[in-house]
Amino acid sequence: MYSSATPILFKAVTPVHAGTGRELGIIDMPIQKESHTGIPKIEGASIKGCMREAYRLKNKDKSEENILFGYEDGNDGAGLIGFSDAKLLFYPIKSVQNLFTYITCTYLINRFLEDKNFMNKCDIKSILEDIKEGQAIIYTKNKDIKKGKKIVLDVYDFEIDCVCKLEENCDENDEKCCVEDIRELYKKLELKRDIAVLNDTDFMEIISLNREVITRNRIDHETGIVKNGGLFIEEYLPAESVLYSLLLVNGILEEQKKNKELVKRYKQSIPKLLQIGGNKTIGKGIVKALIYEGDKDGNNEKR
């Protein structure tokens, strides 16, 4: 059993293609998605692979690498750490008011709160209630954004049901919709744009119509022109997307004192930049990584 679960935040610097291989359909090479929701994700195996590669580039001690990530042949023992699938948290959508806005929904926020408290023996105090379709909760520094007004995201307009000011204390009437973790995430990720929390149905509709899809081609190196049948379509998770994964620690292996120290050192040295997924030679898949640790009472520890 795992002894701890620490969230790691990933913010896409460039579009990310964590793919599923070729498929029949309009998009030849789609990205990974949850089967039960259709929401984009990145498999835990992909996260672990890029984390191992980054560790290997900085540390030449193969024995410590094997202890942390497991032996590559899989027969000599499990790794000390593991990684859950990276789940979506915020998705960027163009906005009339603010160039673009990070959108999320009650399902994603409540799931994050549950995952963050996965190993903590404490109650989750902040749970967002369902939002009506066509409405939004806005987290902003803009004093002109007020309850009852409209915001425009892509071609959709939403009525503002609640406003949470990021640089001020929330009004007493707004405490029911103000989740402190969202304010903490805003600061931790150094976001510069508003966050809009939408109804689950509205969220799914807007992200399904705002996928980043790119047409590419294969060049014949002898002729210098496109090969016959060389056009293909790839899907990407757009830049500015925010996901999180849980860094899981094997409770049995961690009992050794040297392993506890190794985990501690690893958490302190999480690389700030990673490359996840395919197309690294054309600059895709670059993400910022930030550890988001909670203490035993479920409070956030900023580092």
Question: Using an 8 Å Cβ cutoff, are 272 and 58 in contact?
Answer: no
Question: Using an 8 Å Cβ cutoff, are 281 and 56 in contact?
Answer: no
**Closest CA relative to residue 219, chosen from 232, 206, 208, 210:** 232
Rounded distance, CA 260 to CA 281, Å?
37
Q: What number of CA atoms fall less than 13 Å from residue 100's CA on the CB side?
A: 14
Mean pLDDT of 150-157: 95
Using only C-alpha atoms, the chain has a radius of gyration, in whole angstroms, of: 21
Q: Which residue has 């909760």 as its token pair?
A: 137
129 pLDDT above the threshold of 90? no
Q: Determine the longest span between alpha carbons in the chain, in angstroms.
A: 70
Question: Which is higher by pLDDT, 232 or 32?
Answer: 32
Assigned token pair, 131:
């939002």
The domain segmentation of the chain, as residue ranges, is: 2-301
Q: Report the SS3 class of residue 216.
A: strand
Question: Using an 8 Å Cβ cutoff, are 112 and 181 in contact?
Answer: yes
Question: Using an 8 Å Cβ cutoff, are 181 and 299 in contact?
Answer: no
Backbone angles phi, psi at 235, to 5 degrees: -105, 145
Question: Using an 8 Å Cβ cutoff, are 193 and 98 in contact?
Answer: yes
CB atoms within 10 A of CB 178: 19
Mean pLDDT of the chain: 88
Q: Which residue has 């001690």 as its token pair?
A: 61
303 pLDDT above the threshold of 80? no
Long-range contacts of 142-151 (CB under 8 A, 24+ apart): 142/97, 142/98, 142/194, 145/97, 145/194, 147/174, 151/95, 151/96, 151/97, 151/101, 151/196
- What is the pTM (predicted TM-score) of this model? 0.90
Lowest mean pLDDT among 20-24, 150-154, 258-262, 265-269: 20-24
* pLDDT classification of 205: cutoffs 50, 70, 90: very high
pLDDT at 249: 94
Give 47-91 pLDDT, tens digit per residue.
999 999 999 999 877 889 999 999 877 666 789 999 999 999 999
Give 251-281 pLDDT, tens digit per residue.
888 888 889 999 999 999 999 999 999 999 9
pLDDT at 117: 83
Q: Which residue has 């990205």 as its token pair?
A: 31
